[in-house]
Amino acid sequence: MTDSNNLPGRKSKYPAPDTLFAFDERGTQLPVEFDDGGKSSGVESEDIGERIASPFDPSKIEVQTRTPTVSLLLNRIRRDTIDLAPDFQRRAGIWTAKAQSRLIESLLLRITLPTLYAAEVDEESWAIVDGVQRLSTIARFVDPAAIEAEPLRLTGLEYLTEFNGCSFADLPGRLQTRLEETELVVLLIRRGTPEEVKFNIFARINTGGRPLTRQELRHALIPGRARSFLYELANTEPFLSATSYSVSPERMSDREMCLRFLAFSLNSPESYASQDFDGFLRSAMHGINSLSPEELATLKGQFAHSMRAAERIFGAHAFRKRFPGYNRRSPVNKALFEIESVSLAAMLPDEVDLLEDRRSVVEEKFMELMDDPTFMGAVSAGTGDVGKVRHRFREMNRILQETLDA
């Protein structure tokens, strides 16, 4: 059996399960996010407390139902007018050959597949939001070169067992035609629909299987350099080491953490005023797409500096809550990741050295914050609230500065 924890860029095992959780003062286990295998992602689940600031104008919402054939969709893939987000880990390349073969068998048996969801990027291009795995499987079988994949040979079929071991070319012509002429249902959100409405619609309809996370939606709907840059940061040794190799990349929690660092590095916490935290992160992705290679290199250096500093000062408990009397290590907290990483990125090397020398003082002051209901609320519930964002950044900067001045 394959160990699902053996992921590229990660150590072969996450820490033992009992090191991934913490308990509050009542002994209640902190909630965590889960990956597709039902295992802890190593990240504390979060309530950002989002709300719709103003109602959407229904006239700006344009959704169409399309029924293209498999052949037409493959032509779009060949011409790069369908974006399958090739590094979209959770949706592409995770099914077994048997599972993929069963999907092909369903098409050959004329069993209707679930609806594909897509967003129109421009007049010709679509970004597939839900259905990447299904479409990738079809492409891998019919035209693997279109997605630069290994050809799929059918295996484990339930009904058409005589075709086990067959490739597309091995099928009778009538079955090849049946596949190519199969119509798939695509729900397409037109490009004139405002971005915030588009994200809201996908969040509402995203109910099949395991719903996409917000970062997976951002990844699917906002193409550009930000995608690969977040992947690069999440796979740097400083990040992996500072988070103790405990954050699973499957649901893109690691990339969201990196995005939050970048968002608050490019925009000061005091400038955050929208009450729309998801919109703030989407805007940051667009901003990253417009940066020059030199600017990206500078941000990457600042990120590495902050990760090393966090590990030196906070040790194994970097970016995690701590509770008096409980020594188990908590899951990574995204709000704490923001404030620790961004605050430390601004520190000079000699200041980091001094904070490391006085790490016992930092720990004492941090534990005082953990005992402050207002601060705990700012990193636990409604974390996208403007007041809570500013409060947690001010408090983290305060304890670091007081330590330096001691």
Q: Are residues 146 and 259 in the same domain?
A: no
Q: Are residues 99 and 233 in the same domain?
A: no
| Contact call for residues 72 and 138 (beta carbons, < 8 A) | no
Percent of the chain with pLDDT strictly greater than 70: 82
Residue where one domain finishes, among candidates 142, 171, 205: 205
Q: Are residues 296 and 177 in the same domain?
A: no
Q: Which amino acid, residue 155?
A: T
| Contact call for residues 118 and 187 (beta carbons, < 8 A) | yes
The verdict on residue 394 lying in a domain is yes
**Mean pLDDT of all residues in 273-284:** 90
Query: Which tokens is 377 given?
Result: 């609320």
Residue where one domain finishes, among candidates 163, 178, 205: 205
The pLDDT score that the predictor gives to residue 199 is 80
pLDDT, tens digit (0-9, with 9 covering 90-100), for 110-146: 998 989 989 888 878 898 888 888 999 999 999 999 9
Mean pLDDT, the chain, rounded, equals 85
The verdict on residue 11 lying in a domain is no
The pLDDT score that the predictor gives to residue 94 is 64
Kindly indicate the confidence band of residue 354, based on its pLDDT and cuts at 50, 70 and 90. Answer: very high
pLDDT surpassing 80 at residue 22: no
Kindly indicate the confidence band of residue 211, based on its pLDDT and cuts at 50, 70 and 90. Answer: low
Helix (H, G, I), strand (E, B) or coil at 119: strand
Instruction: Write phi, then psi, for 332 (nearest 5 degrees).
Output: -60, 135
pLDDT surpassing 60 at residue 352: yes
Q: Are residues 327 and 243 in the same domain?
A: yes
Distance CA 367, CA 324 (A): 8
pLDDT surpassing 80 at residue 172: yes
pLDDT surpassing 60 at residue 53: no
**Mean pLDDT of all residues in 70-96:** 76
Using only C-alpha atoms, the chain has a radius of gyration, in whole angstroms, of 24
The verdict on residue 70 lying in a domain is yes
What is the crossing angle of helices 386-405 and 349-357, to 10°?
A: 80
Q: Are residues 339 and 190 in the same domain?
A: no
Nearest to 146 by CA among 154, 136, 160: 136
Residue where one domain finishes, among candidates 150, 180, 205: 205
Q: Are residues 172 and 81 in the same domain?
A: yes
Could you list the residue range(s) of the whole structural domain that residue 262 is in? 17-45+222-405
Q: Which H/E stretch holds residue 130? A: strand 126-130
Nearest to 230 by CA among 212, 214, 210, 215: 215
Strand partners, 118: 128, 188
How many structural domains are present in the chain?
2
Q: Are residues 183 and 252 in the same domain?
A: no
Q: Are residues 178 and 238 in the same domain?
A: no
**Mean pLDDT of all residues in 254-267:** 97
The pLDDT score that the predictor gives to residue 324 is 77
The verdict on residue 276 lying in a domain is yes
End-to-end CA distance of the chain: 54
The verdict on residue 55 lying in a domain is no
Nearest to 127 by CA among 197, 34, 199, 43: 199
- pTM to 2 decimals? 0.73
The pLDDT score that the predictor gives to residue 375 is 96
- The more confident residue out of 173 and 43 is 173
DSSP E strands, 57-168:
63-66, 82-83, 116-120, 126-130
pLDDT surpassing 80 at residue 212: no
What is the crossing angle of helices 132-142 and 70-78, to 10°?
A: 90
The pLDDT score that the predictor gives to residue 1 is 31
The pLDDT score that the predictor gives to residue 77 is 94
Q: Are residues 296 and 387 in the same domain?
A: yes
pLDDT surpassing 70 at residue 51: no
Q: Are residues 171 and 114 in the same domain?
A: yes
Distance CA 158, CA 137 (A): 18
Range with lowest mean pLDDT among 98-102, 192-196, 273-277: 192-196
Q: Are residues 367 and 269 in the same domain?
A: yes
**Mean pLDDT of all residues in 378-384:** 93
β-bridge pairing 32-34 and 116-120: unpaired
Helix (H, G, I), strand (E, B) or coil at 69: strand
